Amino acid sequence: MSYRTEEVAYVQPAQPAGAAQAAQQQRSTAEYRALDAAHHIHPFSDMGSLNRSGSRVIVKAQGVYLWDSDGNKIIDGMAGLWCVNVGYGRKELADAAYRQMQELPFYNTFFKTTHPPVIELSALLAELAPEPFNHFFYCNSGSEGNDTVLRIVHQYWATQGKHSKKFVISRKNGYHGSTIAGGTLGGMGYMHEQMPSKVENIVHIDQPYFFGEAEGNLTPEEFALARAQQLEAKILEIGADNVAAFIGEPFQGAGGVIFPASTYWPEIQRICRKYDILLVADEVIGGFGRTGEWFAHQHFGFEPDLITLAKGLTSGYVPMGAVGLHDRVAKAIIENGDFNHGLTYSGHPVAAAVAVANLKLLRDDKIVERVKTDTGPYFQKKLRDTFANHPIIGEISGAGLVAGLQLAEDPKARKRFANGGEVGTICRDFCFNGNLIMRATGDRMLLSPPLVINKLEIDEIVAKAKYAIDATAQQLGIS
């Protein structure tokens, strides 16, 4: 899959380097690029092609803005990689890390040991998460979070004496990380192709992607219901006694900000309850305020048994992932002997201290609340008003501060471009030229800015997105 590689194709900046910027930098852009090409393998990249074009070098950031090594100021419509929820340059987080590194930079949480930061974080998460989530297990990433989910799911069913419940059902075009378990759980075909070893007993059903996959005259609600009912069909095919869990992102992030219609999650929950199957919400992108709720499953109105957390947990300032366990799952894990899983850095004190500072900012500065009542509705309306009847915008999905813009050859007929990925790349390149970070996933353009963004900055993002999308239409000869 090449869209990620193309993501970093460098467009020569128009502006010269600022003198102050240049003074802070250790090396010139050319030197950085040469060393990067010589020694650094990037994630999800075609390194040959990237080394020929050269990487963009980001040297600093503040608020919702990034600066590259040539002094260009870029507005970050993606919050880094869906994670910098409190924005860049928050001293509270830096201070928390500094203090914690001096006090206790590391100690483990194995062997009957704990420490204040992980205790404070767990108590705070229990306060912020919905009522039945009172226990948290820690790791370093969303991928490890989903590996942990699998371990908990299997342990849970073992404690219930239901050893045959081994299968986990997931979705095509879902994303759950890039460890072997995360990659297998995800439904990205281009990743599976490079994974001859996969985790066994994982199967996929179709995604609730209305614009791209609904046929005939189905309404979005009817289509979403039909897609949810594929879960029931799959359970009956495998046998409910063999199915342990269903996992899904409340809305698919990396898959293109796919928002299912309101009928989807209640039906998924009904089916999981009927067949006694654990329901896992992967909240790695949706968690910590993205939709205006603390967790995206609250936006969609369902109650999972496990939640996977990462990204916004620390706003990306340091790596940390976690799994939240519903009381009924936690009870089974707690009361049934050893749970043989853990990582050196489970509950790392510095990460935990940063997470606490981050969550307090999200809560006490009312950042999440503002997304729900003010900036989120403003962003959604601004996008919908700006692109109403646009000749190549087929759909705008999203809530709060996340949105997917579907590029389409004929929006009214729901006709996609035959070469959708290329069209996305054209649009993304125009964004680069305009100093806007907006992701392209195939033929969908994605926005997920820091949650501290203000209305002026939202206006700037939407104006720059409009410029890029207009320029794309013009290049394609569509008006």
Task: Tell me how far, at minimum, the Cβ of 391 lies from ligand PXG, in Å.
Answer: 27
Name 47's Cβ contacts closer than 8 Å, sequence gap at least 6: 41
Q: How far is Cα 172 from Cα 256, in angstroms, rounded to an integer? A: 12
- Of 117 and 255, nearer to ligand PXG (C-beta) is 255
Beta carbon of residue 178, minimum distance to ligand PXG (angstroms, whole number): 6
Give phi and psi for 150, each to the nearest 5: -60, -40
Minimum separation from the CB atom of position 210 to ligand PXG (A): 20
How many residues form the binding site for ligand PXG (CB under 6 A)?
17
- Residue whose CB is less far from ligand PXG, 280 or 462: 280
- Cα–Cα distance, 380 to 162 (Å, whole number): 45
Map tokens 């809560």 to a residue: 363
Taking CB under 6 A as the rule, does residue 155 contact ligand PXG?
Answer: no
Q: Determine contact, residues 406/443, Cβ cutoff 8 Å.
A: yes
| Least gap, CB of 169 to ligand PXG (angstroms) | 16
Residues 50/8, Cβ–Cβ less than 8 Å: yes
* Angstrom distance (rounded) from CA 247 to CA 233: 16
Which residue(s) pair with 405 in the sheet? 396, 445
Contact window for ligand PXG (CB under 6 A) among 10-18, 173-181, 341-349, 383-391: 173-181
Q: How far is the CB of 388 from ligand PXG (least distance, A)?
A: 27
Binding-site string for ligand PXG from residue 128 to residue 147, where x marks contact by CB under 6 A and - marks none: -------------xxx--x-
Q: Among 67, 175, 378, 430, indicate the residue that binds ligand PXG (CB under 6 A).
A: 175
Contact 395, 212 (CB under 8 A): no
Q: Quote the tokens at residue 17.
A: 């380097």
Q: Using CB under 6 A, which of 13, 54, 80, 177 touches ligand PXG?
A: 177
75, 129, 254, 465: residue in contact with ligand PXG (rule CB under 6 A): 254
CB of 266 to ligand PXG, least distance (A): 21
Q: What is the 3-state secondary structure (H, E, C) of 39-62?
A: HCCCCCCCHHHHHHHCCCCEEEEE
Q: Give the contact letters, 269-308, x = binds to ligand PXG (CB under 6 A), - = no.
A: -------------x-xx-----------------------
DSSP conformation letters of 283-307: -TTTTTTTTSSSSHHHHHT---SEE
| Residue 258 interacts with ligand PXG (CB under 6 A): yes or no | no
Residues that bind ligand PXG (CB under 6 A): 4, 81, 141-143, 146, 175-177, 182, 249, 253-254, 282, 284-285, 310
